[in-house]
């Protein structure tokens, strides 16, 4: 190969003694190509300074309408039996949406479970390498996520939650601050002036489901700027009807914000009538057991953005760990419901 000529699929194929179609598939990470052959192609491409032309690839895809590329990505969950049932429901919505978006982009999503009921990270690495899977989408982990034992030099990775440090992957997560802003703006427009936050904070500080701190921080920071009453938040380790009733009677919020929709019944037991005298807002409608006003954290959008970012990394062969991983936040969407009064006029 000439030292000055720009390398192409044709020149790489000639150098390796392979067909152009084999080299092309290997460059795209196709599982149809043996791992050893793919490594040879990628190694020569890196040494020769080969870079694909995405515009040309797009045009060729249009010309070859009869051929659809299909690869695989891994959806990886951690086996944690102490995860609350409602949190499992949200994870299931993420998995279903990720599989749909992957299929739209030409990928088949394969589910893998890590832990006592699943496989080890070492076994996962072996499976992924054998199948030629280059993309790993890590679903939210209940405790501190640790996937450092996986050899990330071979994979692109994205985490569908706020923070992961072992390893530091790009993340796609809900924008809690903007979602809380939407909540407080809406209840204020409806005439509520004393919103109260009721939230369960896990006693285990290593738990990554730390939305409780993010919701509380956003609530405390925003209510003052919006001129709302200073009702002290009720932050508890377990859902407690009696404790809620004491807080509700003492603090007298006119609208309660929280994840546990059973609070509507507890408010009624204290003499409140929802929505006539008081209101309730769900901070994650995917976890609600009844029809409520509140925030849709858009798990389908979160999962789709994660798959899209992963697919882009695979396309550009961005395996390995970024020095400064990015964080993409998706704001929640306000949904009207029967637990708030109707706006007059």
Instruction: Give the integer Cα–Cα distance in Å for 35 and 317.
Output: 15
What's residue 205's pLDDT?
45
Query: The domain at 71-174+299-331 falls in which architecture?
Result: 3-Layer(aba) Sandwich (3.40)
Question: For residue range 304-345, what is the model confidence (pLDDT) as tens digits?
Answer: 999 999 999 998 888 888 767 899 999 999 999 999 998 765
Structure tokens at 152: 């990330």
Q: Using the 8-state DSSP alphabet, how is residue 150 labeled? A: S
Task: Give the whole-angstrom CA distance, residue 258 versus residue 294.
Answer: 9
Q: What is the pLDDT, as a whole number, of residue 64?
A: 52
pLDDT of residue 4: 59
* Chain segment 241-263, per-residue pLDDT in tens: 999 999 999 999 999 999 999 99
The CA-atom distances, in angstroms, between 197 and each of 25, 63, 168, 188, 257 are: 54, 56, 32, 14, 5
The reported pLDDT for the residue numbered 70 is: 60
3-state secondary structure 254-320: CEEEECCCCHHHHHHHCCCCCCCCCEEEECCHHHCCCCCEEEECCHHHHHHHHHHHHHHHHHCCCCC
DSSP 229: -
Helix (H, G, I), strand (E, B) or coil at 158: strand
Domains of the chain, by residue range, sit at 9-63, 71-174+299-331, 175-297
Asked if 9-63 and 175-297 have one fold, the answer is no
Q: Which residues contact 91 (CB under 8 A, 6 or more apart)?
A: 77, 83, 139, 140
Q: State yes or no: pLDDT of 97 exceeds 50.
A: yes
What CATH class has 9-63?
mainly alpha
pLDDT for residue 177 is more than 60 = yes
Could you say which architecture CATH assigns to the domain 175-297? 3-Layer(aba) Sandwich (3.40)
């Amino acid at each position: 190969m000439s030292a000055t000529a720009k390398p192409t699929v044709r020149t790489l194929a000639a150098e390796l003694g392979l067909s152009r179609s084999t080299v092309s598939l290997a460059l795209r990470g196709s599982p149809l190509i043996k791992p050893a052959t793919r490594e040879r192609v990628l190694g020569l491409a890196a040494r020769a300074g080969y870079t694909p032309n995405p515009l040309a690839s797009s045009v060729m895809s249009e010309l070859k309408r009869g051929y659809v590329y299909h690869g695989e990505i891994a959806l990886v969950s951690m086996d944690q039996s102490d995860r609350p049932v409602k949190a499992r429901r949200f994870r299931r919505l993420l998995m279903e949406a990720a599989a749909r978006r992957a299929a739209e982009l030409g990928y088949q999503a394969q589910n893998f479970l890590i832990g006592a009921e699943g496989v080890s990270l070492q076994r996962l690495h072996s499976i992924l390498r054998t199948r030629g899977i280059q993309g790993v989408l890590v679903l939210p982990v209940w405790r501190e996520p640790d996937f450092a034992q996986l050899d990330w030099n071979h994979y692109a990775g994205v985490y569908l939650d706020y923070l992961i440090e072992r390893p530091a992957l790009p993340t796609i997560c809900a924008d809690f601050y903007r979602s809380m802003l939407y909540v407080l703006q809406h209840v204020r427009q409806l005439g509520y002036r004393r919103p109260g936050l009721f939230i369960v904070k896990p006693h285990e500080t290593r738990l990554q489901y730390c939305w409780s701190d993010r919701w509380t921080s956003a609530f405390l920071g925003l209510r003052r700027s919006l001129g709302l009453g200073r009702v002290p938040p009720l932050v508890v380790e377990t859902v407690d009807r009696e404790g809620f009733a004491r807080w509700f009677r003492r603090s007298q919020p006119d609208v309660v914000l929280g994840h546990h929709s059973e609070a509507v019944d507890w408010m009624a037991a204290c003499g409140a009538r929802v929505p006539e005298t008081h209101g309730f807002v769900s901070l994650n409608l995917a976890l609600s057991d009844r029809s409520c006003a509140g925030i849709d954290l858009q798990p389908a959008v979160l999962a789709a953005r994660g798959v899209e970012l992963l697919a882009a990394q695979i396309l550009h062969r961005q395996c390995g760990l970024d020095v400064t991983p990015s964080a993409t936040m998706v704001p929640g969407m306000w949904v009207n419901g029967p637990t708030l009064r109707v706006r007059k006029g």
